[in-house]
Amino acid sequence: MPKKWGNKKQPIKNTRQPTEQKGLTNQNPLFDKYYKSQNLLDDGEWNSFIHTAKQLLPTSFRITGNKSTANDLNQHIKKTYIPFLSQAKLDGVQLPPPKQLDWYPDGLAWQLNLTKQQIRKSPEFKKFQNFLVYENEAGNISRQEAVSMIPPLLLKMDPHHSAIDMCAAPGSKTAQLLEALHSDPHTDPTGLVVANDSDNKRAYLLVHQTSRLPSPNIMVTNHDATSFPNIYTTNPTTQARSKFLFDRVLCDVPCTGDGTVRKNLEIWSHWTPNNGNGLHTLQLRILNRGIQLLKPGGRLVYSTCSINPVENEAVIAAALRDNPQMSLVDAAEELPQLKRKEGLKHWHVNTARDGIDFGDRDLLIENARDERERDRLNDKLPRTMWPPSQQDADNMLLERCLRVYSHQQDTGSFFIAVLEKKEEKTQDKTDEKKEEKSLEKIDETPQQPPADSTKRPLSPQSLTTNNQRPQKKSKKDEPSAEKGKVQPDTTFKEDPFSYLDEHDEDVKSFTAYYKFDDTFPRRNLLVRNPNREAGRTIYLTSDLVRNILHSNDYTRLRLISSGVKLFVKQDNQRAFSDEEKDIVNRCKWRVTNESVSFVKKYLPPQAIFRGTPDDLKSFVEHYHPVISSIGGANGELRDVLQNTHSGSHIVEFSLDNGENGLSQPVYVPLWKSKTSVSMMVDKKERSALSLRLFGEDLSEAGRKQAEVQKQREERMKSAAENALEKEGENEEKKEQDNAETIESKSQPTDLSDQPLETPAPLPATE
């Protein structure tokens, strides 16, 4: 049975809610029959599993950011919120406080098991919820399904690793990879994260999600992962071009999602065993391409939020058979607190048709109604869906796959396999050749826009694997007759990517203005036009991203975005006096909030101003505080600002009061005009900072919201009072009417056939 939280002596409110209360079914006999036949769990555990799968999922969230800022925020939750929430009661019953996921490193992930209604009704949890919303919007917390956090952890990403997330949107796992890349706040990572998704709209979601953790080392692409193009890099010394392979590959592939039934209730009614069958081939093709992109010695994680062996062990077994340089990693010692089950070595594939279960692939195909159906079945049911022989399954060590079921730690269900590629010296030459060949094929194939495989039904053709019938190509898809010439992809409409010349006038102007030292990466300033001109925005990328963009055509990579927004042009000069215009003309480029932590590294210490919590309060309370009002009595920053020129500046605030979880200084960009200064920080982040520092949202937006809330509460209070009054009046009236009725019992009237105990008030005049 799933665990209950809390102290045994105190009653804890049962927060579980069967999902059927949502008005949708949570039954599916096919689901039960299919999975029972797979012997996933013994009978007792199966009952626990199915019982848990029918309860609503607890909320879970992760603290994001680098280790020191994340630990700070975690301490803040533990010291400030947990004691406060541990007192929370609803109808006299204690509510369970949030609980740390014991298997998540450094306790940085939490689970909260309350319904929305309970949160709304509890003032303590409402306050906590408010805090979570702000911190989430400021990018310091991410809501994420607990089990979905596992694959990136097992990928073991380090700051020097280059990783590709093949099916990345909406990007919760990419965010984890970026955090691992930037886990050391003292060194710039040399690695890379490529976040790819075949769905164009979802690829833009990725751009948004990845901007929550700004990184010069990110590239977002929009490809069908089965044909992700080869990437090349150039050796800066010899200028030799070579194929670039990744240290880490994540294949979190599209799947039936039946491990997420606790939150996606509609899955219950749509589920059939054929759903998984229909995805197997695509999943295998994505994995095979991932393997080709992996460096020898590198690690690959394959995962799904499905418990179906056809989408899981069958895909792994087929990939292992085709790629002998790959093997399953024993992850038993990794995340030791995580309860999990071994991978399956045997499973059944659904071969039922028209109520007859053929039990065998060949028998089913033999009994096809006609040639067309035979072809279709051959396509739809590749042999790779069936388990290997017992001996092969043993040799492959399929038990090393990880299965996490809902009931084990009150989560969703997930499948994860950790694979590694043999180091080059031991890699079989024939494997290398085979791999080379298919890589070349992809180079020569014109890059077509990816089919949106999440929305369109999968055609049998799109589900063929390398070892099955080749996909039929339309004329349009044929490679150009001219050898080596690749047809341009006319559907790709992104603005071009180019790098500013390091001697460009704008580069010179901001280098002089900010007094950047020699280590400032002038060569890595990216713009979105073909002319290498600074338009309105300048991005910063890492050396590796620059190398990749120089060595590859960005349209072939279908690159959507890259790097971190470093400067934006601030050329509205109406606010400045003539003298100030002169100064600002020296540099129109304002540091953005997302880039401030990168920029500050290249500034001389005297170029960074220092501020106090009182100073920050002025910036939080007003969007454009006048300089003379900043910081109360002890206004050092005010004096500094009064005596400096207009334009972009950076301030360091030391805000630690031992409790607010701000032990690291906070850096913010300011824009100074003639008489006032603005903190160039997003509304939500301003509110989150205020909440942590001052215990309430002092920002203009926060004050407005509090006022609206107060008015709403007052309205509700007076409505409740009115209702009470009315109820009292009604009661009074009822009593009076009853008395009248009793009185009238002896007198024959029109009402004599009304039952005496009638609950409705009687019409007074009848």
Ligand X SMILES: C[S@@+](CC[C@H](N)C(=O)[O-])C[C@H]1O[C@@H](n2cnc3c(N)ncnc32)[C@H](O)[C@@H]1O
SS3 state at 537: strand
Which member of 251, 255, 305, 401 is catalytic? 305
251 is in an annotated binding site: no
With DSSP H G I counted as helix, E B as strand and the rest as coil, what are the percentages for the chain, rounded to 5?
40, 15, 40
Give the closest residue to 88 by CA, choosing from 109, 113, 111.
Answer: 113
170 is in an annotated binding site: yes
Could you confirm whether 401 is annotated as catalytic? no
When the beta carbons of 192 and 203 are compared against ligand X, the nearer one is 203
Taking the CA atoms of the chain, what radius of gyration do you get in angstroms?
A: 32
Does the protein bind ligand X through residue 224 (CB under 6 A)?
A: yes
**Of positions 13, 76, 161, 202, contacts ligand X by CB under 6 A:** 202
When the beta carbons of 224 and 615 are compared against ligand X, the nearer one is 224
Does the protein bind ligand X through residue 122 (CB under 6 A)?
A: no
Q: Residue 637 contacts by C-beta under 8 Å, 6 or more apart in sequence?
A: 609, 610, 611, 612, 615, 630, 631, 651
The residue nearest ligand X at its CB is: 167
Strand blocks (E) in 305-340? 326-328
Integer Cα distance of 2 and 409 in angstroms: 7
Q: 281-300 mask for ligand X (x: CB under 6 A)?
A: -----x--------------
571 is in an annotated binding site: no
When the beta carbons of 439 and 451 are compared against ligand X, the nearer one is 451
Which 3-state string (H, E, C) describes 60-78?
A: EEEECCCHHHHHHHHHHHH
Does the protein bind ligand X through residue 252 (CB under 6 A)?
A: yes
647 is in an annotated binding site: no
Does the protein bind ligand X through residue 454 (CB under 6 A)?
A: yes
Contact 530, 588 (CB under 8 A): no
Does the protein bind ligand X through residue 171 (CB under 6 A)?
A: yes
Does the protein bind ligand X through residue 225 (CB under 6 A)?
A: yes
172 is in an annotated binding site: yes
Give the closest residue to 661 by CA, choosing from 194, 262, 73.
Answer: 73
- Which neighbouring-strand residues pair with 568? 537, 590
Does the protein bind ligand X through residue 226 (CB under 6 A)?
A: yes
Does the protein bind ligand X through residue 197 (CB under 6 A)?
A: yes
φ/ψ of 530, rounded to 5, equals -80, -15
65 is in an annotated binding site: no
Chain mean position to CA 644: 42
Does the protein bind ligand X through residue 697 (CB under 6 A)?
A: no
633 is in an annotated binding site: no
Does the protein bind ligand X through residue 145 (CB under 6 A)?
A: no
Integer Cα distance of 410 and 20 in angstroms: 18
Does the protein bind ligand X through residue 199 (CB under 6 A)?
A: yes
173 is in an annotated binding site: yes
Does the protein bind ligand X through residue 210 (CB under 6 A)?
A: no
Does the protein bind ligand X through residue 168 (CB under 6 A)?
A: yes
| Closest approach of ligand X to the CB of residue 595, in Å | 25
| Closest approach of ligand X to the CB of residue 211, in Å | 15
Integer Cα distance of 431 and 400 in angstroms: 24
Stretch that binds ligand X, among 171-179, 377-385, 485-493, 661-669 (CB under 6 A): 171-179
Distance (Å) of CA 107 to CA 176, 409, 413: 15, 15, 21
Stretch that binds ligand X, among 62-70, 104-112, 218-226, 668-676 (CB under 6 A): 218-226
Distance (Å) of CA 338 to CA 104, 419, 448: 8, 19, 41
Stretch that binds ligand X, among 160-168, 314-322, 527-535, 691-699 (CB under 6 A): 160-168
Integer Cα distance of 142 and 753 in angstroms: 66
**Of positions 122, 453, 464, 646, contacts ligand X by CB under 6 A:** 453
Binding-site residues for S-adenosyl-L-methionine sit at: 167-173, 197, 224, 252
Q: Where along the sequence are the contacts to ligand X (CB under 6 A)?
A: 148, 166-173, 197-199, 202, 224-226, 252, 254, 286, 453-454
Residues acting as catalytic residues:
305
